[in-house]
Amino acid sequence: MNNTEDLDSKLQIIESPQHQEEQTEQPGPSEMSGDRPARRAGRRPGRKTAKMDVRAKLERSRQSARECRARKKLRYQYLEDLVANREKAVFALREEMEMWKNLCTEIDEGRSAENLKEKLLKTCDNQQVKTNE
């Protein structure tokens, strides 16, 4: 019961005319600084209109899309160059493999035993030149 009596007394204080006058005398948050007048509704002097904001936003969006397309184009160009370089490497390795296969076939058949040393030195020199490039 003590709690209900406390609540009733608090309600009577809040509803009293004296308490309501005290609330109206307190300044609101916009009046607390004292040196600024209350803001008026409507357009502010330094503010652009909503139409200008939309146009600016659309222009920024277009610019961002242009930059995105340029980055995408560069990325695809880089990847195409990378693929072309890898394809060249694959073709060079296939040629080398074919050369070694032919050399092994000649050795197996016993045809080029006398030229073997010269061919090996020649291929080793070619490989060293390719790795230095």
Structural domain boundaries, residue 121: 56-133
Q: What is the spatial distance between Cα 4 and Cα 11, in angstroms, rounded to a whole number?
A: 10
CA distance 107 to 99: 12
pLDDT band at 89 (very low <50, low <70, confident <90, very high): very high
Domain count, the chain: 1
Specify if 63 maps to a domain: yes
Instruction: Provide the pLDDT for residue 76.
Output: 97
Taking only the tens place, the pLDDT of each residue in 6-15 is: 666 665 666 6
Q: Does residue 21 belong to any structural domain of this protein?
A: no
Q: Is residue 60 part of a domain?
A: yes
Q: Which residue has the higher pLDDT, 98 or 104?
A: 98
**Looking at the domain assignment, is residue 17 inside a domain?**
no
Task: Give domain status of residue 86, yes or no.
Answer: yes
**Quick check: 103 and 119 in contact, CB under 8 A?**
yes
At 45 the pLDDT is: 65
More confident site: 65 or 37: 65
* Angle (deg, nearest 10), helices 116-132 and 50-109: 170
Tell me, what's the pLDDT at 75?
97
- High-pLDDT (> 90) share of the chain, %: 32
Structure tokens at 53: 């904001």
On whether residue 9 sits in a domain, the answer given is: no
Exposed, middle or buried by CB within 10 Å (0-12, 13-18, 19+), for 103? middle
* Cα gap 6→10, rounded to integer Å: 6
Task: Answer whether residue 87 shows pLDDT above 80.
Answer: yes
70 inside domain: yes
Q: What average pLDDT is seen over the chain?
A: 76
Residues 51-80 have a mean pLDDT of 94
Top pLDDT among 61 and 51 is at 61
What does pTM read for this prediction?
0.45
In a domain, 43, yes or no: no
